């Protein structure tokens, strides 16, 4: 089967920000919401898989790629939810899928948006002991002062996804390795934004995750069908967070994907396996509404 081509569109969010997205395929529409350190192009293979049966909307998060917007300390997760709402209104989509920080946004959308009818999430990063605010402040300082090498390693360490040896490196060594990685990665061909260009946008990701830190139980009010996906090779805290979310939402479903890491939905992971888990869930008819408890 020939893969449908993707077409670029824009919408205007409630606060006037222009939000870009790519659309491809035909059928029921699902919006894919990105995590940190990537743009819509990291979902290319997942979108190709799903577009055989669905209209796939790759939402570009504000502050990156085709949705440029300067970061501000006054940012609120509700702005990201409003961006999704604008895309859903324009496309008629009622299903959402989110990875990592994008999964946190999707859960907040499920809690607050009447348009949402079903959501799937891949490893939302909830931290048992809370996010490390000291590391977070250092990361923001590095980004603000254009210390990109230190910021790259700091972002991974703060998120808890850095390989063990990287997390233990002295700051000067991590900074040097980070600069080398950024230099090599910038030479890679393709339409995706470079890691150096994407780094400033992680302030949105960490802000959103930190904003819901300590308010995990608020998601208990979600009454929509929820599919929770985790990879067996992901960091333990992410696997535990997915399990805790399953316990919080008794009507949810938890799927384990053998051998996948936190990049499972990305081109570098196994998007075929993720699409195989998502497709049956997305094909289910919407649950009947008995009023809107939200």
Q: Which residue has the higher pLDDT, 171 or 290?
A: 171
Per-residue confidence (pLDDT) for residue 74, from 0 to 100: 80
In this structure, are residues 199 and 145 in contact, taking their beta carbons and an 8 Å threshold? no
Q: Where are the beta strands (DSSP E) in 7-132?
A: 7-12, 18-24, 29-33, 55-59, 95-99, 118-122
Helices of type H across the chain: 44-50, 77-91, 101-112, 133-144, 148-159, 164-167, 171-186, 195-198, 202-212, 236-248, 271-283
CA quadruple 292, 282, 88, 101: dihedral sign: positive
For residue range 221-246, list pLDDT tens digits in order.
999 999 999 999 999 999 999 999 99
Mean local confidence (pLDDT), 18-32: 97
Cα–Cα distance list, 37 to 5, 135, 186, 203, 252 (Å): 24, 17, 13, 10, 28
Angle between helices 133-144 and 202-212 (to 10 degrees): 160
Q: Which residue has the higher pLDDT, 109 or 75?
A: 109
Q: Could you give all domains of the chain from N- to C-terminal order, each with its CATH number?
A: 7-129+207-283 (3.40.50.1820), 133-203 (no CATH)
pLDDT higher than 70, residue 1: no
Among 64, 68, 66, 77, which Cα is nearest to 103's?
77
Mean local confidence (pLDDT), 207-232: 94
Per-residue confidence (pLDDT) for residue 288, from 0 to 100: 58
In this structure, are residues 190 and 41 in contact, taking their beta carbons and an 8 Å threshold? yes
In this structure, are residues 231 and 262 in contact, taking their beta carbons and an 8 Å threshold? yes
Query: Which residues, in sequence order, are CB contacts of 30 under 8 Å at separation 6+?
Result: 50, 54, 55, 56, 57, 93, 95, 96, 97, 278, 282
Neighbours of 53 (CB within 10 A): 17
Burial class of residue 129, CB neighbours in 10 A (0-12, 13-18, 19+): exposed
In this structure, are residues 159 and 132 in contact, taking their beta carbons and an 8 Å threshold? no
State pTM to two decimals.
0.93
Share of the chain above pLDDT 90, in %: 75
For residue range 52-86, list pLDDT tens digits in order.
999 999 999 999 999 988 877 788 999 999 999 99
Query: Which residues, in sequence order, are CB contacts of 31 under 8 Å at separation 6+?
Result: 21, 57, 59, 84, 87, 88, 91, 93, 95, 96, 97
């Amino acid at each position: 089967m020939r893969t449908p081509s993707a077409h670029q569109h824009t919408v205007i969010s409630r606060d006037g920000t222009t939000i870009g997205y790519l659309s491809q395929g035909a059928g029921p529409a699902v919006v894919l919401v990105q995590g940190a350190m990537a743009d819509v192009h990291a979902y290319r293979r997942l979108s190709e898989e799903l577009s055989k049966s669905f209209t796939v909307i790759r939402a570009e998060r504000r502050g990156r790629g085709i949705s440029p917007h300067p970061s501000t300390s006054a940012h609120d997760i509700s702005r990201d939810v409003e961006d999704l709402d604008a895309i859903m209104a324009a496309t008629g989509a009622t299903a959402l899928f989110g990875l990592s920080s994008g999964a946190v946004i999707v859960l907040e959308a499920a809690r607050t948006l009447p348009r949402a009818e079903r959501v799937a999430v891949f490893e939302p990063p909830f931290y048992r002991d809370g996010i490390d605010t000291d590391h977070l402040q250092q990361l923001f300082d590095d980004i603000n002062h254009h210390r990109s090498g230190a910021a790259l390693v700091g972002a991974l360490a703060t998120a808890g996804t850095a390989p063990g040896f990287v997390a233990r490196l002295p700051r000067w060594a991590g900074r040097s390795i980070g600069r080398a990685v950024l230099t090599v990665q910038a030479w890679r061909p393709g339409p995706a934004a470079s890691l150096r260009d994407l780094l400033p946008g992680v302030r949105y990701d960490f802000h959103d995750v930190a904003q819901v830190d300590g308010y995990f139980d608020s998601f208990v009010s979600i009454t929509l069908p929820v599919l929770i996906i985790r990879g067996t090779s992901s960091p333990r805290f992410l696997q535990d967070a997915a399990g805790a979310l399953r316990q919080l939402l008794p009507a949810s479903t938890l799927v384990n994907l053998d051998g996948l890491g936190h990049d499972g939905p990305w081109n570098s992971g196994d998007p075929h396996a993720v699409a195989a888990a998502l497709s049956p869930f997305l094909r289910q008819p919407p649950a009947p509404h008995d009023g809107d408890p939200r």
